[in-house]
Amino acid sequence: MQVRRLRAVLAFRAVLAAAAVLVAALPSQAEVRRLVVEHTETHGAYQTLTGHAYGELDPRLPLNAIITDLEFAPRNARGMVEYVATFTIIKPADMAKASGVLLYFVPNRGRINLTDGGFFADARRQGHVLVASGWQGDLEAGDGRETLSVPVARNPDGSSITGRVVARFSDMPASTTTLPILRGGAAGTADPASLDSSQATLTRRASEGSAVYPLRADEWAFADCSRSPFPGTPDPGKVCVKGGFNPAYLYELAYTAKDPKVHGIGFAATRDLNSYLRYGARDETGTPNVLGGKISWAISQGNSQSGTFLRSFIHLGFNQDESGRIVFDGSNPNIAARLLAMNIRFAAPSGGAGMYEAGSDGVVWWGDYADAARGRPAAALLDRCRATETCPKIVETFGSSEFYNLRASPSLVGTRADRDIPLPSNVRRYYFPGVRHGGGPGGFDPAPKRDACCGLVPNPNPSGDTLRALQNALVEWVVKGTLPPPSQYPRLDRGELVSPTQAALGFPAIPGVPLPDGVLTPLYDYDFGPHFNYRDVSGVMTVQPPPIRQVLPTVVPRVDADGNETAGVASVLHQVPLGTYTGWNTEASGFYRGQIRTNAGGFIPFARTRAERLASGDPRPSLEERYGTHDSYVAKVRAAAERLVRGRYLLDDDAHRLIAQAEASSVLK
């Protein structure tokens, strides 16, 4: 069996290598044709450039043929498929002073602030060039968003391509009659082919697992009833229910959509812009490259959805440009555990890990792994870039919420959750224990306020300080060859990953606090139909909503007697805790009450004194029992910060700031 798997992997890599040879033999036709700078602002030693990149793709090239429906996109007189992307570049006004490093930040749903502090400020001080651009074709232009204009795919005879899609609605205000059709939180991702409600189905249910009740076709409409009574004004972007929606139910709409956009172009647009900025001399108009040939290294970074974009970008082979050159020398996919469900007909790129949303269905592991649970051969995220020698150095960073919310488990231990998948030598992995998605605001507040959203107080445990240090380490790894700190993440072979139950975790029973059992996004094995490419999370879904073939096992990090996770790179606050920090929280109200709150974490403060904890029945030692005095607490904070600095997981200025915050805090005062 192992021999057959090895042969299959080697054969796949041989095919990729042959494709790379073919790419090198073909003329480079598809590229950024024009880079138009529309606004320039100078702030001290830096300039900000904004504008549009006009590009085109050759559907015949193997590197582009992987884009779903590209062959059905309209072509210009040269036989190319066109796109237009916005961009923002922050660069030294005098490029002679540039460091040679280009840092590409993937916008999240069109949003990015290149003038922010932290690592952004570090980059500007060091003379790096900062770049962002549009890659997502389902966003409206304007309001500072980076956007991408992509074509609609059509049948060869010019008729509309159609396909089945699903949209879900819950927690609407009482008396709501009309709701926008949102998929992945975005409107306009899939217009109905017909406004005839008899050609679609609208159902409702009292819970995810309860009986499903269809509404009659005359009880709802593709319409807006906000200004006129049912059946309202026909509207392809809205759905209206006669008598209004009942917020006690979850509604599910399945319908035939038309005119899918070719969203996978977003990967190629990102590849070609960065390749041009790194290697290009001038565009087709003769306008010189704004970076003047001063770029020697390029590094990409993305958070959450944007980090998922980078995982797919690498997996699908887009880190090789059309001349066979590497695009990014380094990459930091942060708080991202899946593949991006974008290279799909009728994709909704703004989606996450909700019900029926793809992303965990394919290859999500960096090292080779045979997905026997789903009957798929050995593969890895790096297969394509290994075959072409275009793999970047990777610093993967994520936290506790990614296990509970975003199905991080298979990335580490596969779909049977029974063994650690080894990391390749070009990958470092750093786990931030006890943090919510993206980390909390930090600080040393022993009694923060509860938020009405959630069953637990929001989790303040930060990850940004550690992330900043590791992002700087990635730059040094790429530019100087300085190895980053050793990987730090939970493993099965050390007993650090267990089933997501209180008993397995060892989570303490704290009066009034929910238990973690069931507070997790399940790992479903969906059946999207025979035309879906599960390995690449690409292609065409023909079954919507998809049946669930099985629920796959997952694991989460073990906790100590306080309920705090023990593996990974713990923040100062986590090392000197003021309570229990969880990567999960529960919905306080609404349809999903008591179930997992998306991307949230929780905080369960310690009692201040022994008497207070005994009175409440809290088994965890109080702040007084742990630290004694305020000065003792600050001393422990100082020691923790110094340990992280020595390990290169924290920068000096952040360490000084954290110590000062602890000194100014009210802990045991």
Answer yes or no: is 405 within a domain: no
Answer yes or no: is 368 within a domain: yes
Q: What global pTM score does this model have? A: 0.94
**With contact defined as beta carbons under 8 Å apart, do 603 and 579 qualify?**
yes
| pLDDT tens-digit readout, 63-111 | 999 999 999 999 999 999 999 999 999 999 999 999 999 999 999 999 9
Do 126 and 267 have their domain in common? Answer: yes
Residue ending a domain, choose from 371, 391, 411: 391
pLDDT confidence tier of residue 27, bands split at 50, 70 and 90: very low
pLDDT confidence tier of residue 512, bands split at 50, 70 and 90: very high
Q: CA-to-CA distance for 386 and 367, rounded, in angstroms?
A: 11
Report whether pLDDT(513) > 50.
yes
Look at phi and psi of residue 542 and say left if phi exceeds 0, alpha if psi is from -120 to 50, else beta.
alpha
With tokens 């506790």, the residue in question is 400
| pLDDT tens-digit readout, 202-260 | 999 999 999 999 999 999 999 999 999 999 999 999 999 999 999 999 999 999 999 99
Q: pLDDT averaged over the chain? A: 95
Q: CA-to-CA distance for 258 and 160, rounded, in angstroms?
A: 6
**With contact defined as beta carbons under 8 Å apart, do 556 and 501 qualify?**
no
What is the mean pLDDT of the segment spanning 150-167? 98
What is the mean pLDDT of the segment spanning 170-197? 95
Q: CA-to-CA distance for 565 and 576, rounded, in angstroms?
A: 13
What is the domain count for the chain?
2
Do 240 and 292 have their domain in common? Answer: no
% helix / strand / coil in the chain, to the nearest 5?
25, 25, 50
Report whether pLDDT(15) > 80.
no
Report whether pLDDT(272) > 90.
yes
In one-letter notation, the amino acid at residue 658 is L
| pLDDT tens-digit readout, 410-421 | 999 999 999 999
Could you give phi then psi for residue 317, rounded to 5 degrees?
90, 15
Pairs from 70-73 (Cβ < 8 Å, separation ≥ 24): 70/262, 70/264, 70/265, 72/153, 72/154, 72/155, 72/156, 72/161, 72/262, 73/150, 73/151, 73/152, 73/153, 73/262, 73/265
Do 301 and 226 have their domain in common? Answer: no
Could you give phi then psi for residue 379, rounded to 5 degrees?
-165, 170
Do 331 and 249 have their domain in common? Answer: no
**With contact defined as beta carbons under 8 Å apart, do 582 and 556 qualify?**
no
Give Cα separations from 67 to 269, 345, 357, 574 (angstroms): 11, 10, 19, 43
User: What angle is formed at CA 293 by the lines to CA 290 and CA 298, rounded to 5 degrees?
Assistant: 95
Percentage of the chain lying above the pLDDT 90 cut: 94
Answer yes or no: is 666 within a domain: no
* Burial per residue of 502-514, b for 16 or more beta-carbon CB atoms within 10 angstroms, e otherwise: eeebebbebeebb
| pLDDT tens-digit readout, 313-350 | 999 999 999 999 999 999 999 999 999 999 999 999 99
Answer yes or no: is 111 within a domain: yes
Query: What is the pLDDT at residue 188?
Result: 86
Do 266 and 318 have their domain in common? Answer: yes
CA-based nearest residue to 20, from 79, 61, 59 = 61
**With contact defined as beta carbons under 8 Å apart, do 92 and 46 qualify?**
yes
Query: What is the pLDDT at residue 655?
Result: 99
With tokens 């930091």, the residue in question is 332
What is the mean pLDDT of the segment spanning 628-650? 99
Q: Is the peptide bond before 522 cis (omega within 30 degrees of 0)?
A: no
What is the mean pLDDT of the segment spanning 625-641? 99
Query: What is the pLDDT at residue 66?
Result: 98
Answer yes or no: is 88 within a domain: yes
- Kindly give the pairing relationship between strand 330-334 and strand 427-432: unpaired
Answer yes or no: is 104 within a domain: yes
Answer yes or no: is 239 within a domain: yes
Bridge partners, 178 (sequence order)? 240
What is the mean pLDDT of the segment spanning 625-629? 98
Do 216 and 323 have their domain in common? Answer: no
Do 220 and 173 have their domain in common? Answer: yes
Query: What is the pLDDT at residue 31?
Result: 86
Ranking 185-194, 240-249, 494-503, 629-638 by mean pLDDT, the lowest is 185-194
Do 282 and 216 have their domain in common? Answer: no
Percentage of the chain lying above the pLDDT 70 cut: 96
Do 273 and 313 have their domain in common? Answer: yes
pLDDT confidence tier of residue 18, bands split at 50, 70 and 90: very low
3-class secondary-structure state, position 334: strand
- Written as six digits, the tokens of 585 are 């929280």
**With contact defined as beta carbons under 8 Å apart, do 364 and 411 qualify?**
yes
Residue ending a domain, choose from 214, 231, 258: 258
Do 85 and 176 have their domain in common? Answer: no
| pLDDT tens-digit readout, 46-61 | 999 999 999 999 999 9
| pLDDT tens-digit readout, 437-459 | 999 999 999 999 889 999 999 99
Per the structure, the complete domain to which residue 23 belongs is given by 2-152+262-352+363-391
- The DSSP secondary-structure symbol of 258 reads E
What is the mean pLDDT of the segment spanning 136-161? 96
| pLDDT tens-digit readout, 286-303 | 999 999 999 999 999 999
Answer yes or no: is 452 within a domain: no
Residue ending a domain, choose from 258, 291, 313: 258
Do 107 and 178 have their domain in common? Answer: no
pLDDT confidence tier of residue 30, bands split at 50, 70 and 90: low
Do 80 and 117 have their domain in common? Answer: yes
Q: With helix as H, strand as E and coil as C, how does 603-637 read? A: EEECCCCHHHHHHHCCCCCCHHHHHCCHHHHHHHH
